[in-house]
């Protein structure tokens, strides 16, 4: 373990070095000023290196194993009780996996701090149409749905590309029919959903599932949960905005009629 | 000063713990109520979780004390300096270097390399260089994405051109890339932009939008993240075509 710690530490220094070099070189040679608060900067870099080292160690010890373990336990034949035949019609046998995926996706997204920041901005841009809490709710539903679809896809072994393409096409069609201010924001909400803690667990869940379900190959089928989790929230956020517009339109329409 | 740091650290500890809390709750619920089984290796996992919380806390605290202020400061000076060449070079390099240090990407690349070795796609000797190659492709593409995004803000192009162009490129590459790389390539898009990249890049975008007339930091700054998750898909698929 100590040896591993040492290796991780050295690798981390290598990983952080580019940022430090970049900032130092630009500050000294291009801007030609000395670095303000040099002490703080150095202290910050040291913290970053130690923090990243600890995080990576913990990842290996906790986050990866937990994701894998949950996938294996919940799809264990003893637990699901069904004699899974490997045929398509048996995908229901894995329903606990879907429920688990949905809960993990929903709960981690609702609690995600960077999503909160986006939600506040969304509220401003939309002129109050999109409430802060509602946006977070809508994004979280998108992520939960994405993980359910993604785990289902791993169980049945469909092509990931098809799912993503369908997602893109829906996004493109929605983009045509929504207030332009909101588009960039909706796109971004897809990118910020998956936090540093969630990504490893979700990745391990998918890969673990693909290694347990008969006939699946982790290298081919195990990925894609994170990809889907960045497309689906765009769809739900755009959909939410469109629904709001529609309701407003209907209310107006009603008033005109009466 | 010391009191302030301790206060900060306690706050960060709370934040990273709350990051983890939903996961702990959902996992324990399943273990106790649904599976009704004791948790294997509970002690090791708890120690690992403490590492994760402490590690993330130190990492974020370090970014906020050291790197974010100087990064913002530097972005602002560069924008004011008005040299397009240095600004674009800086945009590329900031995207590249922050992606190399991105924890979630390190995690996923590592896992992908392990899986590739287990399924005999690559030789065990090149496991770590494969993982690094994945991260390098992602880092180069994020750098390019930021560069193009900054160029877009200067030119005032709508973001849709870039995004729809990106989608089309992803579709075209999917047709040609080897099957084994597609999953990881798509996932790489989702993990690129989180802890470090977003705040630094946002500072650059907002700085630019406030300096150039007729740009609003609110709408022009956005969309960059979305574009920065499309290019990595394209580049990782390209990397796969080279490797497999």
Does any CB of chain B come closer than 8 Å to the CB of residue A238?
A: no
How far from the centroid of its chain's Cα atoms is residue A162's Cα?
Answer: 19
- Chain B residues 125-154 with CB within 8 Å of chain A: none
pLDDT score of B131? 93
Chain B residues with beta carbon closer than 8 angstroms to that of A59:
48, 52, 103, 107
pLDDT at B101 over 70: yes
Give me the mean pLDDT over the B37-57 stretch: 88
Does any CB of chain B come closer than 8 Å to the CB of residue A80?
A: no
pLDDT score of B227? 78
Mean pLDDT of chain A: 85
Long-range contacts of B124-132 (CB under 8 A, 24+ apart): B130/B243
Cβ distance A48 to B184 less than 8 Å, yes or no, reads no
pLDDT score of B194? 64
Residue of A nearest to B62 (CA): A44
Cβ distance B65 to A44 less than 8 Å, yes or no, reads yes
Chain A residues with beta carbon closer than 8 angstroms to that of B78:
26, 30-31
Predicted confidence band of residue A45 (pLDDT cuts 50, 70, 90): very high
Query: Which of A219, A229, A231, A238 best tests the B interface by mutation, with the highest count of B CBs <10 A?
Result: A219
Chain A residues with beta carbon closer than 8 angstroms to that of B32:
none
pLDDT score of B141? 94
- A55 → closest Cβ in B37, B59, B228: B59
SS (H, E, C) A123-167: HHHCCCCCCHHHHHHHHHHHHHHHHHHHHHHHHHCCCHHHHHHHH
pLDDT score of B1? 65
Is the pTM of the predicted complex or chain greater than 0.95? no
Predicted confidence band of residue A140 (pLDDT cuts 50, 70, 90): very high
Look at phi and psi of residue A114 and say left if phi exceeds 0, alpha if psi is from -120 to 50, else beta.
alpha
Condensed to tens digits (0 to 9), the pLDDT of residues A62-109 reads: 889 998 888 888 888 777 765 555 555 577 778 889 999 999 999 888
Condensed to tens digits (0 to 9), the pLDDT of residues A231-253 reads: 899 999 899 888 888 888 889 88
- Chain B residues 20-49 with CB within 8 Å of chain A: 20-23, 25-27, 29-30, 34-35, 37, 40-41, 44-49
Does any CB of chain B come closer than 8 Å to the CB of residue A192?
A: yes
Interatomic CA distance for residues B71 and A119, integer angstroms: 24
Of A246-250, B116-120, B216-220, the range with the lowest mean pLDDT is B216-220
Interatomic CA distance for residues B188 and B109, integer angstroms: 8
Say if CB A25 and CB A61 are below 8 A apart. Answer: no
Interatomic CA distance for residues B192 and B142, integer angstroms: 8
pLDDT score of B225? 73
Does any CB of chain B come closer than 8 Å to the CB of residue A219?
A: yes
- B49 → closest Cβ in A16, A58, A224: A58
Query: Which of A51, A122, A165, A179 best tests the B interface by mutation, with the highest count of B CBs <10 A?
Result: A51
pLDDT at B195 over 70: no
Give me the mean pLDDT over the B144-150 stretch: 88
Residue of A nearest to B34 (CA): A96
pLDDT at A148 over 60: yes
Place of tokens 């706050």: B11
Cβ distance B100 to A15 less than 8 Å, yes or no, reads yes
pLDDT score of A43? 92
pLDDT at B222 over 70: no
Cβ distance B63 to A229 less than 8 Å, yes or no, reads no
Question: Which percentage of chain A shows pLDDT scores above 70?
Answer: 93
Q: Which residues contact B190 (CB under 8 A, 6 or more apart)?
A: A191, A194, A199, A226, A227, A229, A230, B229
Residue of A nearest to B132 (CA): A15
Say if CB A200 and CB A64 are below 8 A apart. Answer: yes
pLDDT score of B51? 92
Q: How far off is chain A from B226, nearest CA to CA, in Å? A: 5
Interatomic CA distance for residues B216 and A143, integer angstroms: 29
Three-state DSSP class for A87? coil
pLDDT score of A81? 64
Predicted confidence band of residue B68 (pLDDT cuts 50, 70, 90): confident
Condensed to tens digits (0 to 9), the pLDDT of residues A149-200 reads: 999 999 998 999 999 989 988 988 998 888 777 777 787 777 677 777 888 8
Handedness of CA A217, A218, A219, A221 (dihedral sign): positive
Count CB-CB contacts under 10 A for residue A176.
8
Cβ distance A65 to B103 less than 8 Å, yes or no, reads no
Does any CB of chain B come closer than 8 Å to the CB of residue A18?
A: yes
Cβ distance B20 to A168 less than 8 Å, yes or no, reads no
Does any CB of chain B come closer than 8 Å to the CB of residue A161?
A: yes
Does any CB of chain A come closer than 8 Å to the CB of residue B74?
A: yes
Interatomic CA distance for residues A176 and A160, integer angstroms: 25
Q: How far off is chain B from A90, nearest CA to CA, in Å? A: 20
Domain locations in chain B?
1-67, 82-243
pLDDT score of A219? 86
Chains A, B: CB contacts within 8 A come to 323
Cβ distance A65 to B195 less than 8 Å, yes or no, reads no
């Amino acid at each position: 373990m100590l040896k591993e710690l040492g290796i991780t530490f050295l690798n981390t220094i290598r990983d952080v070095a580019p940022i430090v070099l970049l900032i130092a070189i630009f500050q000294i040679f291009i801007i030609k000023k000395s670095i303000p608060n040099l002490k703080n900067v150095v202290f910050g870099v040291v913290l970053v290196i130690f923090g990243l080292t600890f995080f990576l160690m913990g990842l290996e010890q906790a986050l990866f194993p937990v994701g894998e373990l949950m996938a294996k336990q919940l799809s264990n034949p003893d637990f699901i009780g069904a004699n899974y035949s490997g045929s398509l019609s048996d995908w229901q046998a894995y329903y606990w996996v879907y429920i688990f995926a949905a809960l993990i996706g929903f709960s981690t997204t609702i609690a995600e701090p960077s999503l909160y920041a986006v939600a506040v901005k969304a509220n401003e841009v939309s002129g109050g149409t999109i409430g802060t809490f509602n946006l977070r709710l809508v994004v979280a539903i998108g992520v939960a749905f994405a993980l359910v679809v993604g785990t289902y896809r791993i169980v049945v072994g469909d092509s990931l590309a098809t799912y993503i393409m369908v997602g893109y096409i829906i996004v493109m069609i929605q983009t045509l029919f929504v207030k332009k201010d909101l588009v960039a924001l909706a796109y971004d909400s897809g990118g910020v959903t998956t936090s540093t803690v969630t990504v490893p667990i979700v990745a391990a869940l998918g890969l673990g599932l693909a290694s347990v379900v008969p006939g699946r190959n982790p290298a081919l089928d195990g990925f894609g949960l994170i990809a889907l989790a960045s497309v689906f929230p765009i769809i739900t956020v755009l959909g939410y905005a469109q629904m709001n517009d529609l309701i407003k339109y209907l209310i107006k329409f009603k008033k005109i009629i009466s | 000063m010391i009191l302030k740091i301790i206060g900060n650290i306690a706050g960060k500890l709370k934040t990273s713990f709350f990051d983890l809390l939903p996961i702990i709750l959902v996992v324990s619920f399943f273990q106790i109520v649904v599976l009704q089984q004791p948790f294997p290796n509970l002690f090791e996992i708890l120690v690992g979780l403490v590492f994760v919380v402490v590690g993330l806390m130190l990492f974020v605290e370090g970014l906020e004390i050291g790197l974010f202020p100087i990064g913002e400061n530097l972005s602002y000076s560069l924008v004011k300096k008005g040299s397009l060449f240095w600004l674009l070079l800086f945009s590329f390099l900031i995207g590249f270097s922050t992606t190399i240090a991105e924890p979630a990407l390190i995690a996923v690349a590592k896992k992908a390399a392990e899986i590739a070795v287990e399924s005999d796609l690559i030789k065990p000797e090149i496991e770590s260089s494969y993982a690094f190659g994945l991260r390098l492709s992602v880092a180069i593409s994020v750098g390019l994405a930021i560069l193009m995004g900054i160029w877009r803000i200067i030119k005032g192009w709508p973001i849709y051109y870039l995004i729809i162009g990106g989608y089309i490129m992803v579709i075209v590459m999917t047709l040609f890339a080897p099957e084994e790389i597609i999953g990881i390539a798509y996932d790489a898009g989702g993990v690129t932009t989180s802890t470090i990249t977003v705040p630094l890049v946002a500072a650059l975008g907002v700085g630019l939008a406030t300096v150039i007339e007729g740009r609003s930091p609110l709408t022009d700054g956005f969309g960059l993240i979305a574009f920065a998750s499309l290019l990595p898909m394209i580049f990782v698929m390209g990397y796969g075509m080279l490797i497999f």
